[in-house]
């Protein structure tokens, strides 16, 4: 049985229908790179799965249970964790306090304050620092750590490298290596295509709210993905018609 099934999902970003008739399933342990240009609907799709956006149509099934109408906090309790674009930490709280908030979900497992600090050593020396005073990379690490503290079965990670210097991105991915190799199920929105392909087992590409390419990362060429990313596959299809 798939861990996540999305069936003919529509979702809106304000008045815009940003996700259109999207269907796919994700098995336990898959690392899915969700790619596409700005405005393709990636963030709205993640937010709809997490319950931060209400589905306008379709179904979302998690581990066999229909969660389409379930409130976001209840989805977290079921094991779905979203790391949103922009981090969204509590700026007036310390790093440790931000992490402890997630413990209230009550899901037990491997991830604790100690194991998160071990995964992200950059946070250990900053645990008593207000989140508002962290660097961009530290905020991203804290946001990922907060999600891990819920001991999720599915992590939705939106724009890992957005606004970060390459050296900071490298540091984050180096810290996450053990996480990615530990059997986690992850949907990763990443603007750096090369970086996304280096960790993904599967690639899904969105264009204008739809999934236009979906398959094994190892079976796709970079050119195929870039063509789908920019809609060039449509141009080529019209040229053959």
pLDDT of amino acid 239? 43
Exposed e or buried b for every residue in 155-188, given b needs 16+ CB within 10 A? bbbbbbbbebeeebbebbbebbeebbeeebbbbb
Residue 235 has pLDDT above 80, yes or no: no
Closest CA to 201 of 27, 41, 80: 27
pLDDT of amino acid 98? 93
Distance (Å, rounded) from C-alpha 187 to C-alpha 82?
Answer: 10
Q: Which domains does the chain possess?
A: 4-240 (3.40.50.300)
pLDDT, greater one: 163 or 82: 82
How long, in residues, is the chain?
A: 241
Distances (CA, A) of 159 to 5, 52, 170, 193: 22, 16, 14, 11
pLDDT band at 173 (very low <50, low <70, confident <90, very high): confident
Residue 129 has pLDDT above 90, yes or no: yes
pTM value surpassing 0.85: yes
Across the chain, mean pLDDT equals 90
Residue 70 burial (C-beta neighbours within 10 Å; 0-12, 13-18, 19+): middle
pLDDT in tens, 36-92: 999 999 999 999 999 999 999 999 999 999 999 999 999 999 999 999 887 789 899
Q: For the residues 196-222, what does the mean pLDDT come to?
A: 93
Residue 241 has pLDDT above 70, yes or no: no
Distance (Å, rounded) from C-alpha 197 to C-alpha 234?
Answer: 23
For 192, the token pair is 């750096």
pLDDT, greater one: 173 or 42: 42
Strand partners, 13: 16
Neighbours of 14 (CB within 10 A): 7
């Amino acid at each position: 049985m798939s861990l996540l099934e999305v069936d003919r999902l529509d979702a809106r970003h304000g008045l815009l229908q940003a996700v259109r008739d999207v269907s796919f399933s994700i098995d336990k342990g898959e690392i899915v790179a969700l790619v596409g240009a700005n405005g393709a609907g990636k963030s709205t799709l993640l937010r709809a799965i997490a319950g931060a956006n209400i589905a306008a149509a379709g179904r979302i099934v998690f581990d066999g249970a229909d969660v389409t109408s379930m409130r976001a906090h209840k989805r977290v309790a079921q094991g779905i964790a979203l790391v949103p674009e922009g981090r969204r930490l509590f700026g007036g709280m310390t790093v440790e306090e931000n992490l402890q908030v997630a413990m209230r979900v009550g899901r037990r497992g491997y991830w604790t304050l100690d194991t998160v600090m071990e995964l992200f050593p950059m946070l250990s020396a900053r645990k008593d620092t207000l989140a508002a005073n962290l660097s961009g990379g530290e905020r991203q690490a804290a946001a990922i750590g907060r999600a891990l503290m819920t001991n999720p079965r599915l992590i939705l990670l939106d724009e890992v490298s957005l606004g970060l210097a390459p050296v900071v991105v490298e540091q984050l991915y180096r810290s996450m290596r053990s996480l990615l190799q530990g059997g986690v199920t992850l949907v990763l929105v990443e603007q750096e295509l090369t970086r996304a392909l280096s960790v993904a087992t599967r690639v899904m590409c969105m264009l204008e709210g739809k999934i236009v390419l979906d398959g094994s990362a190892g079976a796709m060429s970079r050119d195929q993905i870039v063509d789908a990313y920019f809609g060039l596959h449509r141009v080529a299809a019209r040229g053959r018609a």
